[in-house]
Amino acid sequence: MEIRYKIMLYISIALFAVLFILMFVPFIKAKGKYKKGKKVANAFYIKEDTYFKRKMATYKVVTFMLILTCCLSILLSSFMLCRPYRTETVIEEKYTRDIFLCIDISSSVDSLNAHLIDELKGIVDEMQGERFGLVIFNTSPVLLVPLTDDYEYIIEQLDAIETQLERRWKDPYYEDPYITSGTLIGSEMRGSSLIGDGLAATVFDFPDLEEDAERTRLVIFSTDNELNGTPFITLEEASNLCIKHNVQVYGIGVKDMNKKRRQEMKNAAENTGGKFYEYGISGDCSSIVADIQRETKSFINQEPVVKETEVVEAPFVILFACVACMMVFTKIAKY
């Protein structure tokens, strides 16, 4: 145990010494002198009385206890003023998953995104304790939010995406920089909805892919898998990239996907050890969360943290008890 304010210890000792001297060291001997009151003759008769003896014995005991508790209260108060504390090094064990929300924001996916954004917010709420990141893509992918455990910020960004998408649903010609800046780079030459590029880029947004290969990494990947351009990486190649870096994909597709696109996306997700859902048919927020919860969590190496804990609880309780005792002893001494 250590003391934060050592100067208070020295001041308290000095004050206590002064009080002790004032209370117990007589400066003037007053033998044979009566400063107050009147002389009483034959007082020895009273002193021999049994009742008087009992009262005097009680008075002396109560007075002694009163002085003792008073001294103890002063000492405890001084001790608490010194702010005693203890230090300990703590290594907190933390197990978690890294999860990226990868959202296709091309206009062909508006029917899915109209409902999915709220579901994704529900997933974030349900899985507090994980680290989430957010990627949107069309022609090109954009990292909106790196991995973080600031869930309020993640939900704020999803709200912002939802607001912009709602405006676009009402006005097909509306374009907001928030969801178009960066996501349409090269669209004149390469087209849009480049599915494989979006998933592949998300894989490399995970930190420490090589250094921490055993970490649990997941991508919740929403798209209609309707390719309208020339990607750098196909969906199959992006799936193999996920397998290489131990990233599981949980794909969410639209209801009206044709058989080929559905099977292609299903294979891409399941090959990584993940799962494919047709929104509104084979899965919703609760089923996705339940499936993800079955996956093991990774241990995060935390830096040792030195914690200081003030040791004041026990002295405070004793001080409170002493004050209560002094009140009782004072009452007893009066009778």
Asked if 74 and 108 sit in the same domain, the reply is no
Is 36 inside any structural domain? no
Q: What is the pLDDT of residues 201-251, one digit of tens each?
A: 999 999 888 887 778 889 989 888 888 888 889 999 999 999 999 899 998
Domain total for the chain? 2
Domain identity same for 101 and 161: yes
Q: What pLDDT digit, counting tens, does each position of 18-66 carry?
A: 777 776 665 555 555 555 666 666 667 777 778 878 888 888 888 888 8
Same domain, 234 and 288: yes
As a whole number, the mean pLDDT across the chain is 79
Residue 191 lies in a domain: yes
Residue whose tokens read 């196909």: 234
How many whole angstroms separate alpha carbon 179 and alpha carbon 175? 8
Q: What is the pTM of this model?
A: 0.60
Domain assignment present for 35: no
Count of residues in the chain: 335
Residues 58 and 159 occupy one common structural domain: no
Average pLDDT over residues 273-279: 85
Burial tier of 177 (Cβ tally within 10 Å: 0-12, 13-18, 19+):
exposed
The more confidently predicted of residues 26 and 179 is: 179
pLDDT of 172 higher than 80: no
Q: What percent of the chain has pLDDT over 70?
A: 83
Domain range enclosing 162? 94-300
CATH number (domain holding residue 200): 3.40.50.410
Please name the residues in contact with 222: beta carbons below 8 A apart, sequence gap of 6 or more.
101, 102, 103, 104, 109, 112, 113, 116, 120, 251, 252, 253, 279
Residues 114 and 69 in one domain: no
